Amino acid sequence: MISYIRFADNLSAWFGKAFAWLIIVMAVGTGYEVFVRYVMNNPTAWALDVSFIMYGTLFMMGGAYTLSRGGHVRGDFLYRLLQPRTQAKIDFVLYLIFFFPGVTALIFAGWKYASRSWGYGEVSAASPAGVPIYQFKAVIVAAGLLLFIQGIAQLMRCIIAMRTNEWVEAPEDVFETEDLLMREANKAEKDHLS
């Protein structure tokens, strides 16, 4: 089980980090639009659509990575007070009842939308530039598959936590600036005291 969890975590991390670069494409596109609109007085017909597509792709493809790192929103004001074994039992049931049916529906519905869209080369109806969006519809399926793979790993984490009363943590690879500053301050204080 541990090897599958590591595989799923690494796969989710790879896709999440690879697609995170879309934020730069989105920022450059938006910056370009602002420049040509307000400085050159010549707005583009495509920039808004490209920004939406980049943001949507980034959001969808980062979902499995966020799940692997426990970053999705949850109402844990009571949950956090429970033992890991109890948390795992709750999570296990919720994954089976809500997560997997929802993700499965996302994959099948996404497949239907994507195949139709690719079939006729769909373009944005809201865009005067006719920006193609069929490739974006395929992202729905890819994101669903990644979520499904990561969901299996999350179920395995639950099983291990139910047995051992300890969670199998994902490797830490991204840190909040405040956390890094607190660690440095704590380290400096410990060094100063010793």
33: buried, middle or exposed (CB in 10 Å: 19+, 13-18, 0-12)? middle
Nearest to 164 by CA among 79, 84, 81: 84
The CA–CA distances, whole Å, from 122 to 50, 64, 111, 128 equal 15, 27, 14, 14
CA distance 134 to 114: 7
Q: Note the pLDDT of residue 188.
A: 83
Q: Note the pLDDT of residue 153.
A: 97
Q: Are 153 and 8 in contact (CB under 8 A)?
A: yes
Q: Note the pLDDT of residue 10.
A: 93
Q: Note the pLDDT of residue 183.
A: 85
* Residue segments in the chain with a per-residue pLDDT below the cut of 70: none
Q: Note the pLDDT of residue 71.
A: 79
